[in-house]
Structure 1
Amino acid sequence: MSLTVVLTAFVLVLPVELPDKTLFASLVLATRFPPLPVFVGVGTAFGLQVAIAVTAGSLLSLLPEALVSGVVAVLFLVGAVLLWRSAQEGPEDAADVAEGKEGRSFLRVAAISFGVLFAAEWGDLSQLATAGLAARLDDPVSVFAGAWAALLTVSGLAVFLGRKLADRLPVALIRRVAAVLFLVFAVVAAVETVRTLAG
């Protein structure tokens, strides 16, 4: 496992998820249910989602190198554009996420939290970033560890700090910083594509 790859995945995924529906869905669930089972359910959902993204990225890496770096460049460029365009929008609303679900047992709350977050994460920017990193860096275990740690950090902040955090997040700034990070990764991947094709 490479600490550099773990940190790269963490730094890339964390700002993408801070203003995302993930944070607010976790926050809403934590206002309805006890925090610990919510965190367990959310964390398990994230672990499975990251494993799927890393597997997809690792399979992508079996293709020719120029094609892989080109696809990775496109993934990150699309992510950068989507993040930059969403910078002026407000936080994603997840107020209806847990509507009507009143369970009290640990397992039931964890299962509800798992289901809500597992469904909400499909096609998310963090999945694109994780798949792109797994394809580019050829270290799936480190990418998994970094991306999952970032997602656990975001959900932990939401579940255990709650509304205070949501009110203080500079959503536009966080999304712009994340967009710049995605753009940097897109440029690096594009340069690698050109070098591979030229060499």
Structure 2
Amino acid sequence: MSLSVVQGFTKSLAMTVLSEIGDKTFFAAAILAMRHPRRLVLAGCLSALIVMTILSALLGWAAPNLISRKWAHHITTLLFFGFGLWTLWEAFTEDGDAEELSEVEAKLDADFKAASGKVDSKDKDDLKKQRRPFLTQFFSPILLKAFSITFFGEWGDKSQLATIGLAADENPLGVVIGGIIGQALCTTAAVLGGKSLASQISEKMIALAGGVLFLVFGIQSFLSTAGS
């Protein structure tokens, strides 16, 4: 494995883990897993995150072909500095877990209550679907719901934009592998016990670490530009 792949992998893995823990999609996966079969929620959320990571890396890989590599590098450097300052600002000014969790719970509760009139029939359908072969369950409403909530929740998110910038500046293959492994770790933790895990981890410390990491990436990118 080449050095460029390893560098892209380590940066992507660290960025993904620090960005996704305590994120909206993290809590969405945790809450969905409390109400539905975990394997379906995990499959839906993780599939969406893998697709999003690959799409983001492809956009980052294509960026130097749309604009000059020099400008792509400068934009990526500014993105890292911007995301670093933004994340540090959130760490000092926002309530963190409580606000994020309540917002996601309210949104999912609204969806749950809207469908409350069909609860009995849906429960029966879910029980039937759980007895069906795996390939049939793959197209279950639960999996599709987890996929859509996660995919559209991540679209335009800070972590997606950062992945695009990282893939424009580093080896896209390493970024994809690191991002997928990071997403798998975070999503599995969320499904297995994300709500209790988040309550034991300081959201402020995670945000501070993420902000510092983005700034380090920005400084490294700036210095590599100066040295070229």
Report the TM-score when normalising by structure 1.
0.90
For residues 162 and 19 of structure 1, the distance between their equivalents in structure 2, rounded to whole angstroms, comes to 8
Q: 1:58 aligns with which of 35, 39, 61?
A: 61
Query: What is aligned with 1:18?
Result: 21
1:149 corresponds to: 181
Tell me, which stretches of 5 or more residues in structure 1 are unaligned?
none
2:105 to 65, 78, 95: 95
8 Å contact 2:91–2:204 — kept in the other structure? yes
Distance 1:145 1:38, change over 3 A: same
Q: Give the structure with higher Rg (CA).
A: 2
The structure in which a higher percent of residues are helix is 2
Matched letter for residue 143 of structure 1: V
Cα-Cα RMSD: 1.7
Q: How many residues align?
A: 195
Structure 1 consecutive aligned stretches of length 4 or more whose deviation exceeds 6 Å: none
Asked if 2 retains the 8 angstrom alpha-carbon contact of 1:13 and 1:129, the reply is no
Taking structure 1 as reference, are residues 51 and 30 closer, same or farther at Cα in structure 2, changes over 3 Å only?
Answer: same
Local SS of the residue matching 1:123: coil
2:142 aligned partner, one-letter code:
V
Q: Report how far residue 96 of structure 1 moved.
A: 3.0
**Identity among equivalent pairs (%):** 27
CA distance in 1, matches of 2:156, 2:201: 23
Displacement, 1:188? Answer: 1.6
Q: Distance in 1 between matches of 2:105 and 2:84?
A: 27
Q: Which amino acid aligns with 1:75?
A: L
Q: 3-state DSSP class of the match of 1:86?
A: helix
Q: Offset of 1:42 from its aligned partner?
A: 0.3
1:42-89: per-residue Cα shift (whole Å, max 9, x none)? 011001111111011101122323212110011111211221111142
Provide the rounded CA distance (Å) in 1 between the counterparts of 2:70 and 2:227.
Answer: 8
Between the aligned partners of 1:97 and 1:121, the Cα distance in structure 2 is 15
> Larger relative contact order (C-alpha < 8 A, sep ≥ 6)?
2
TM-score normalised according to structure 2 size: 0.79
Structure 1 position 195, deviation (Å): 3.5
Q: How far apart, in 1, do the equivalents of 2:184 and 2:107 lie?
A: 19
Distance 1:194 1:4 in 2: 19
Alpha-carbon distance between aligned partners in 2 of 1:147 and 1:170, rounded to the nearest angstrom: 22
Superposed counterparts of 1:47-86, under 5 Å: 47-62=50-65, 63-86=67-90
CA distance in 2, matches of 1:29, 1:164: 14
Distance 1:47 1:7 in 2: 17
CA deviation after TM superposition for structure 1 residue 5, in Å: 2.6
